[in-house]
Structure 1
Amino acid sequence: MKLTLAKSFALFTLTFGISLSFVLLHHQTPLPIKPDPMARTFILWLHGLGDSGPANEPIKNLFTTPVFANTKWSFPSAPNNPVTCNYGSVMPSWFDIHELPMTADSPQDEAGVLKAVQNVHAMIDREIAAGTNPNNVFICGFSQGGALTLASILLYPKTLGGGAVFSGWVPFNSSILQRVSEDAKKTPILWSHGIADRTVLFEAGQAGPPFLEKAGISCEFKAYPGLGHSLNNEEFRNLESWIRSRVQSSS
């Protein structure tokens, strides 16, 4: 499918991404609490196509309730790779994307996804080896990072605290479900998607819960009317509550 120059430019800057134009959440300043290394939480945030980890670091400032006082955040950057949907242009990308807008039936780079999953698992393994309870490990991602979040959660051999997918999609076919362990099926998933998304169509997000149900995996799906391919305050408030309710205490 040929794209106009304007559309090409729009895709190239697809998720430069979040743009961080959202308004910061307003919370009361929490009282200082004594850090407890046995109760620490690890949140790994995976950015979208063309974006970077450092550009997303302000997100952690939105989570100011006391339960996050001992949270370790990680914002890795994707390696530079050629991306098919952008005419082979090299940019930060976890794996290849063949076409945009993304639909429920778009072709997927499954080999690239599985390679990226290995790198995410290595990050998780290092954190657990450092002493973090797997139940306090949360993987979150936007757009391409959301698709990678889903793949990483499903293929990790242990039960984790949770996976949060924002404006993402299912990056492989149903045969992958045969590789999902019983422990991985216990990891809760939060899926958020804007109904007005024109980059990763809402139908691509809607296909997620039925896909997961085939493997008996629970998924909480939240639709946001009027929201395009971006993040908003309501999504972050819901994510904060969702993680807070799942953090395990040191006891």
Structure 2
Amino acid sequence: MAAAAPEEPHVFPPTFVVSPLGTHTHTLILLHGRGDSGPSFGSGVYIATPSSGFTLPSLYPGLKFVFPTTAERYSTTFRKVMNEWFDTVSLSFPEECSHLQREGLREAVAHINSLIDIEIAAGVPEGNIILGGISQGCATALHVLLSRGRRLGGFVGMSGWMPFASNVREICGLTTGAGLRNNAAAAALDTHSESESEKEQEFAAPPMHIDAVMDDDDETLDVLKTPVFLAHGDADETVDYKLGRNMYTTLKHGLGMDTRWRRYREFGHWYKEPDEIDDIIEFWGEKCGLIPS
């Protein structure tokens, strides 16, 4: 029997880009959540208003806004084709059947890295590039950052979680946190052709970058110098608040990253205006060298 032809890589739609109002000095790359798109998410962020009443473009005329859109792929959770960066079985326990995440994350890493490289080629230093996202976009962007292995200007994560968090916490010597019910869950999904042993092996194997970022090599450890801002509403019914908190403790206490955490009480799954915008602006000024005009 002839071997099955390899699947074609998913195609990413054009990126939604808003040019800076003034001389280009910094770039913000933000990834949308599952079921959303770059133009939809980006249009809202562009007009998001802090307590000062001034929008981000008016505060940062040198800031370029980049909002990529993920490719469409089949969602096991929702059992339909939709915009999602990678596949998952459960939003409550995102580490279940984690082998399903790998294809999407591999493609996302390549795509987002290409966008970062475009900015660098245009003369923007890596230290002036801020990466981040919301929900699944936050999870994806964090994976991109750690996989890249080099410091960026900053990271902003909203209402998200950390892919393969249990693997990272184990390597760091932390106890297993939220996001996983049990390792046997990988064998529960019967919609794929791998054998049970293959599924378990794939599930258990951590991504290559996890071991890499724990290496003593100075160049590899450079990524851990990226300042991180994380925020989450404690009434989030889409991505459990505990998953966000688990991401924070893993980055700060496991990987030793300079990580700032903000909790918004009785707030759900989104970014909170003006509070969260105020907190991000403060973080940019104190940690990323991005000062409002």
Choose from 212, 236, 248 the match for 2:277.
236
Whether 2:289 is the aligned partner of 1:247: answer yes
Tell me by how many angstroms 1:65 deviates.
6.9
Choose from 84, 94, 99 the match for 2:90.
99
Aligned to 2:267: 227
2:129 partner letter: V
Whether 2:204 is the aligned partner of 1:178: answer no
Aligned to 1:3: none
For residue 182 of structure 1, give the secondary structure of its aligned residue in structure 2. helix
Structure 2 stretches lacking a partner, 5+ long:
1-20, 49-54, 169-205, 214-219
1:124 partner letter: I
Whether 2:129 is the aligned partner of 1:129: answer no
Tell me by how many angstroms 1:67 deviates.
5.3
Q: Deviations over 1:96-117 (max 9, x none)?
A: 12112346x5443134323312
Give the number of equivalent residue pairs.
213
Whether 2:238 is the aligned partner of 1:196: answer no
Aligned-partner Cα distance in 2 for 1:155–1:242 = 23
Aligned to 2:110: 118
Aligned-partner Cα distance in 2 for 1:188–1:94 = 24
Structure 1 stretches lacking a partner, 5+ long:
1-33
Aligned-partner Cα distance in 1 for 2:254–2:277 = 28
Aligned to 2:193: none
Choose from 244, 248, 256 the match for 1:209.
248
Choose from 77, 80, 84 the match for 1:85.
77
Choose from 68, 78, 101 the match for 1:76.
68
Whether 2:40 is the aligned partner of 1:55: answer yes
Cα contact 1:113–1:171 (8 A) shared by 2? no
Q: Deviations over 1:184-241 (max 9, x none)?
A: 0000111101111111111111111222232222211111110111221111221122
> Percent of aligned positions with the same letter in both sequences?
30
Cα contact 1:166–1:193 (8 A) shared by 2? yes
TM-score, reference length from structure 1:
0.78
Aligned-partner Cα distance in 2 for 1:54–1:66 = 19
For residue 236 of structure 1, give the secondary structure of its aligned residue in structure 2. helix
The structure that has the greater radius of gyration is 2
TM-score, reference length from structure 2:
0.67
Distance 1:67-1:244 versus aligned 2 partners, 3 A rule: farther
Tell me by how many angstroms 1:153 deviates.
1.6
Cα contact 1:135–1:247 (8 A) shared by 2? no
For residue 78 of structure 1, give the secondary structure of its aligned residue in structure 2. coil
Cα contact 2:46–2:57 (8 A) shared by 1? no
Aligned to 1:139: 131
RMSD of aligned alpha carbons: 2.2
Cα contact 1:78–1:94 (8 A) shared by 2? yes
